[in-house]
Amino acid sequence: MSRRQSCHALPDHSRGNVPVSEGSRAEHRNRILKAFDEVLSVLSEALLGHYGDRLVSAAVFGSVARRTPNPESDIDLLVVAHGLPVGRSRRVEEFQAVDEAVEPHLRALEERGISTRLSPVFRTPAEVQEGGPLFLDMTEHVLLLHDRGGFLQRYLDRLRAELEKTGARRLRYKGAWYWDLGPGKGDGSR
């Protein structure tokens, strides 16, 4: 795994890996991460239970994958599955069973001061191969909840190699991140 990528399984918080020098701030961050990880564990089971053999990959990206969520962060989720219905609204409708399975855990988090929600994006394996800006940040930070046969990991590895070859860079400008895709490639801000 390259220096630029952070690909994690869910961490084990039972060891209490909070450095003492960071004090209560680190403890607070660790509590938030632990709460999100609890939901991700339930989410992973719900996805497998609902999509079954159709599920190819499930990946979390965004602030939760970067391990920098705040109490109001949503859970950005990529679901890669065979046989998805055509159109976003039908895919969201199909996902409702997963949402309902996770909802009690999200309500329990609200009682602990964490107000989050699932923010899913759906792709078939063929749609993943078509690429798109969605995957750029995943080359640096992604939590793979499920990845049958390493499908998504292989795709992200190829994309990362291509980005490095073209000199693409992830840059911060006025508080927002964007991608400079290299000479003549434009930017990945859209």
pLDDT, one tens digit per residue, over 142-185 is 999 999 999 999 999 999 999 989 888 888 888 777 787 876 55
On the question of pLDDT at 18 being above 50, the answer is no
Overall average pLDDT of the 122-141 stretch: 95
Residue type, 79: V
| 153, part of any domain | yes
Reported as half-sphere exposure (CB side, CA atoms, 13 A), residue 72 has a value of 0
Amino acid 176: pLDDT: 76
Residue 186 lies in a domain: no
The rounded mean pLDDT for the chain is: 86
pLDDT confidence bin for 20, thresholds 50/70/90: very low
* Cα 133 to Cα 50: distance, rounded to the nearest angstrom: 27
**Could you tell me if residue 67 is inside a domain?**
yes
Q: Is residue 185 assigned to a domain?
A: no
User: How far, in Å, CA of 112 to CA of 87, rounded?
Assistant: 36
What mean pLDDT comes out for the span 16-41?
77
Neighbours of 51 (CB within 10 A): 22
Lowest mean pLDDT among 5-9, 105-109, 126-130, 139-143: 5-9
Q: Is residue 188 part of a domain?
A: no
Mean pLDDT for 87-103 is: 98
Q: Residue 2 — pLDDT band, cuts 50, 70, 90?
A: very low
Over range 30-34, report the average pLDDT.
Answer: 92
CATH classification at residue 51: 3.30.460.10
pLDDT at 23: 64
> For position 169, what pLDDT does the model report?
85
Q: Please say if the pLDDT value at position 190 is more than 60.
A: no
Q: Count CB-CB contacts under 10 A for residue 49.
A: 12
Provide the pLDDT for residue 52. 98
- Predicted pLDDT at 25: 82
Query: Does the pLDDT of residue 115 top 60, yes or no?
Result: yes
What's the confidence (pLDDT) of residue 179? 82
Provide the domain count of the chain. 1
In a domain, 109, yes or no: yes
CA angle 46, 156, 101 (to 5 degrees): 10
Domain that holds residue 36: 6-180
Do the domain assignments include residue 12? yes
Band of residue 92 on the pLDDT scale cut at 50, 70, 90: very high
Domain assignment of residue 61, yes or no: yes
